[in-house]
Structure 1
Amino acid sequence: MIKSTVLALAPGAAAEPATPVAYPPGATATRFTGLAFDACTAPPAATLDAWRASSYRALAVYVSGANRTCRQPELTSSWVTKVSRLGWRLLPVHKGLQPPCGARPSDTKISRTPATARAQGTAAARQATDQAKTLGMLPGSALYNDIENYSQTDSGCRTAVLSYLSAWTKELHRTGYVSGVYMNLTLGARQLAAAYASTTYARPDALWIARYDDASSLTGWSGITDNAWAVHQRAKQYRGSHDERHGGVTVNVDSDRVDAPVATVAYPYTATGTDRAQARGGPSADAPVTTSYAAGAALRVVCQTPGSTVATTPVWDRLADGSYVSDHYVSTPSATGYSAPLPRCAQPFQVTAAHGLTERTGPGSGYAAAGSLPQGALAWVTCQRSGAKVRANTVWDRLDDGRYVTDQYVATPAAGAYSPPLPRC
C-alpha cells in the first residue's frame, strides 16, 4: 500500500471525481494479485486446465464492443463457471469506440462533441454490463474499457476521451459495477492521470496500462504518481504478443501483472446436513431467517465473510441474493475455514479526502493510526458500525484488513448513514 501525508479530518471532495457505487444485494468485488495473460480469443477450458501448470492465474476476456475483432466461440456463461471453478480470475474487457484522433475507422470513434461522447460512454457501460450479466459476471465485477493509442496534442480529442470515460464510470457505478480503464502509458494513461483530481470527470476505480518494457512493476510509472490508483487498483501489460507453452499447450498471449479488481462470479455448491440450512439477513445465527434450503439444494455462493461461530466454523457464505448461510451447511471444501477460490466479501468505494484518510485500529479518531489511504484509493469495506462522530457522521467503515476509516470521507451511497447492502459489524 502506498502511504501519503494525511489530514485525519481533511475536507471532503465534491461529488466528482469520486462517485458512489450502488451495489445491489449479493454484490461483492473480487481482487486478484499476480500474473495474468490475455489472448484475442478466449481459450477453451481444456487449455486453461493445462495452463494451470503456468504461473498465470488470471486472464483477460473481451466481452463486448464494436472493436472486439476476434470471435469468441468459447465465451459463454458455462465457460465462465467452468474456468472459475478451475481457479482462474477473469478481467472483462470492453473494446468499443476509440478516440477521434486515433487510427480506428470513423464509424467506431468517440464523438468530439462532449455531450455526445458522454452519451456514448453511458451506452458503452450498458452494453458491457448487459454482456457481463449474460456471462454470469455479477455486480461488483470490474469492467475495463480498452482505449487504444491516440494523439496527445489534440485537446479536443482529450476532452472527448475523458468525457466518454467519465460517463462510462458513472454508469457502471450506478448499476453496481467497478470501473476500469486500459490505456497505453504514454499515449493515453498520463492524460487520464492528469485529470485524477478533476471535479469535471468521474475517476475510474482501476488503471491498467500497456508498456512493453518487460518490467512488471506496478509502481514507478513515468508520469503517473504512485499515489494515484494506489490500493489494489493497478495492472500492467508488460510484454506484447508472444507464444508460450504450458501443460503441453501453446497459446499466443500478452503478459500482465495485476493487483486490481476483477470479475465476480457465483460458485455452485449445495446445502448439506440433515436439517434445512437457514439463510439469514446477516452473517450471524441471531440474524432473521429469510429462507431455508433442504439438503442437496443448489446454492450460488459469491463470497465468504466472518460471523458468529456455528459448530466448527465462523465462516459464512453470502449468496447471490444477498442472504447468508453458515458455511457449516454448505459443500465448500473446508469445514473450518475459508475455501478457495471464493473471495472474501468486500465492497470498494473511493476515498474522497483530498489529502488522504487515516486508517485506525477502531471506530474513532481516538484509536491509534494504523495506516493511510490516499485520495482516490479504494477503501475495501466489509461492514459498517457506529463510532466517534466526525462532523455529523457517526458511521465507521471496517476494511478487509481489519482497520477502520470514518465513512465521512468514503464515497458510499448514503452520506452520514448506513449504506445497504453492507452489513453491520
Structure 2
Amino acid sequence: MRTPLSVVRRLAIPLALLLPVLAVGDPARAEPATPGSYPINASATLTTGRAFDTCTAPPISTLRAWKAADYHRVNIYFGGVNRGCAQPNLTGGWVAQATALGYLLIPTYFGRQPSCIFGTKPYRYTASTAAAYGASEANDAIAKSRALGIIPGSALYADVEHYDRTNASCVLAARRYVSAWTKTLHAGGFLAGVYVHQDSGLLNLSGVYTSTTYARPDAVWMARWDGNPSLVDWPTAPNSRWSFHQRAKQYRGDHDETWGGVTLNIDSDQFDAPVATVARPYTVTSASPLNGRSEPFTNAPVRRSYAPGSTIKVVCQGYGQRVGTSNVWNRVADGSWVSDSYVSTPSQTTFSPPLQRCIYPGQVTSGAALTARTGPSASHPPSGPPLPPGALAYVMCQRSGSAIGTSTVWNRLVDSRWVPDYHVANRSNTTWSAPVPRCP
C-alpha cells in the first residue's frame, strides 16, 4: 500500500512459526467459515491478472491512457480514518466510467491499525477495542461502497499494515479486528478481504485458519516486494489456505510507470481473487414490456416489467430456461431476472463479457477436502481437484441431489462442477439458500 512498507523487513518465515498466539478468554465462535447473507441483487466478481494501486484514484483520462497497459484492475481507497490521500475523483460517476472502460475495481478500506504497527498512522486499536472497531468500520465500508455503486457480493479489503508480530497483545488485536470485519461484512452481504504483510498479518491469520475462535476472511492480499507475482509457495501460508481464487500479491512497491504518455507512481499486484461488482447499463430490446422474474424461468413469478427501449442495469448473467436462441438470463440491479434474448448485451446466444457470471460464494466447511463431482450426487465421478477447507465455493445455482448430511441440495459451481451444499457456508445447510437460483 501507499505507506512506508519499504522500510520494514521482508523475511521468509519458516512454517513452524505459524503456530497461533493463544487467545485466552476470547469468545468462541461456531466455526471459522461464517455464512454470507446475500440480498437479491448480489453477485461476486472473480478476476485473474495484473492490477495496480496508487494513492489517489486517477482521473478517467488517465485510466483511458492506461488501457495500453496490462493492468485491467485498479485499487481504490474508498474509506477509513487512516486513508492518507484525498479522493477528488472517487464518485459513483467515476466508478461507472472506470467500469465502462473495462476496469475491475479493488475496494480497499484504510481504517484503524494495530497499536504496534511500523509506521505513523495515528488511529489504532488494541485487543480490547479491536472487535468493536472491526465491526463499526465494516459497517462504514458497506455504506461507503454502496454509495459508490459497488454491489453486495463484492469483496471489500481491510488494509492491515505491517506490525510487530512478537507483541502477543497486538497479534490478538489484529485477529479480533479481522474476525469482526469478516462477520460484519458477511452479515451485510459482502465478501471479506484483507491486505496484510507477509511477515505479520498473513502469518498470524494463517495460524488461526481453522480456529473456531475467529471468523476467517474470504481472501488475502499479501505484500512482499520481491518482484515475483506468484500466488503459490508463500513462506508464511501453506498453499492449502485461501487456495481457490482467494489470493493476491503486491509484488513490487513504489515505482513510476508510463502508459499512453501518462506517468503514475504505483505498486504492482497479481490477483486471483474476488473484487468489486458494479452493474452495467443495457437497453431492453423487446417489442413489448419485458418481465423481470424471481427466478430465471418463464413460469417464475413476475417481480416487475421494463418498457421497450428502457435502460436496465445488469449485475451478472446466469443459466436459465432457454428463450429464443439463448439460455442466458441477466440479473438486474433490483434483483429480478430477465431473459438475455431481449437485452442489448453483445451476444444473444451465450454469455457476454465483460459481464460476470452470477456467483454466490461460500466457504467450504468440511474438515477434509471436499470432492467436486460431475453431477449433483455422490454417485457421480469426481471432477478436478477437491476444494480444501476454507476454499470459496463459487456457487452459480442449486439443484436437488443425493442426501449429504441434513440436505439434498447440491451447488453447481462456476466451473460447472458440483458440491453438496451441506458443506458450504451459506444461509442454510438443510434447504435452498436465497438468492441462489435453481439450476435449469
- Return the TM-score normalized by structure 2: 0.91
User: Which of 198, 202, 213 in structure 1 is aligned with 2:215?
Assistant: 202
- Report the CA distance shift for 1:52/1:311 in structure 2 as closer, same or farther (over 3 A): same
User: Which of 290, 299, 310 in structure 2 is aligned with 1:286?
Assistant: 299
Would the aligned equivalents of 2:113 and 2:121 in 1 still touch at CA under 8 Å?
A: no
What SS does structure 1 have at the residue aligned with 2:227? Answer: coil
> How many Å separate the matches in 2 of 1:394 and 1:370?
19
What residue number does 2:413 align with? 399
Count of paired positions: 411
Deviates further, 341-350 or 289-298: 289-298
> How many Å separate the matches in 2 of 1:228 and 1:313?
38
Kindly report which structure 2 residues correspond to 1:224-243, keeping only aligned pairs within 5 A, or say none: 224-243=237-256
> How many Å separate the matches in 1 of 2:106 and 2:199?
22
Deviates further, 104-113 or 137-146: 104-113
Would the aligned equivalents of 1:19 and 1:173 in 2 still touch at CA under 8 Å?
A: yes
What residue number does 1:44 align with? 59
What residue number does 1:35 align with? 50
> How many Å separate the matches in 2 of 1:281 and 1:112?
45
Q: Does 1:19 align with 2:37?
A: no
Letter in 2 for 1:151: D
Q: Does 1:187 align with 2:200?
A: yes
> How many Å separate the matches in 1 of 2:382 and 2:354?
32
Q: Does 1:268 align with 2:290?
A: no
User: Which of 397, 402, 405 in structure 2 is aligned with 1:383?
Assistant: 397
Letter in 1 for 2:302: V
What residue number does 1:5 align with? none
Question: Where does structure 2 lack aligned partners over 5 or more consecutive residues?
Answer: 1-28
What SS does structure 1 have at the residue aligned with 2:65? Answer: helix
Following TM superposition, the consecutive aligned residue runs of length 4 or more in structure 1 with deviations greater than 6 angstroms are: none
Deviates further, 103-112 or 363-372: 103-112
Letter in 1 for 2:92: S
RMSD of the TM alignment (CA)?
A: 1.3
What residue number does 2:105 align with? 90
What SS does structure 2 have at the residue aligned with 1:166? Answer: helix
Question: Where does structure 1 lack aligned partners over 5 or more consecutive residues?
Answer: 1-13
User: Which of 406, 425, 428 in structure 2 is aligned with 1:411?
Assistant: 425
What SS does structure 2 have at the residue aligned with 1:353? Answer: coil
Letter in 2 for 1:345: C
Would the aligned equivalents of 2:423 and 2:429 in 1 still touch at CA under 8 Å?
A: no
What SS does structure 1 have at the residue aligned with 2:163? Answer: coil
Deviation at 1:291, TM superposition (A): 1.6
What residue number does 1:177 align with? 190
> How many Å separate the matches in 2 of 1:311 and 1:135?
36
Tell me the alpha carbon deviations over residues 303-353 of structure 1, each in whole angstroms, 9 at most, x when there is no partner.
011222222222111011211111111121222222221101111000011
What residue number does 1:368 align with? 381
Q: Does 1:249 align with 2:258?
A: no
- Return the TM-score normalized by structure 1: 0.95
Would the aligned equivalents of 1:85 and 1:341 in 2 still touch at CA under 8 Å?
A: no
> How many Å separate the matches in 2 of 1:251 and 1:290?
46
Deviation at 1:111, TM superposition (A): 2.0
Kindly report which structure 2 residues correspond to 1:57-76, keeping only aligned pairs within 5 A, or say none: 57-76=72-91
Kindly report which structure 2 residues correspond to 1:293-304, keeping only aligned pairs within 5 A, or say none: 293-304=306-317
Letter in 2 for 1:165: V
Aligned residues: percent identity? 50
Deviates further, 76-85 or 289-298: 289-298
What residue number does 2:174 align with? 161
Deviates further, 276-285 or 380-389: 276-285
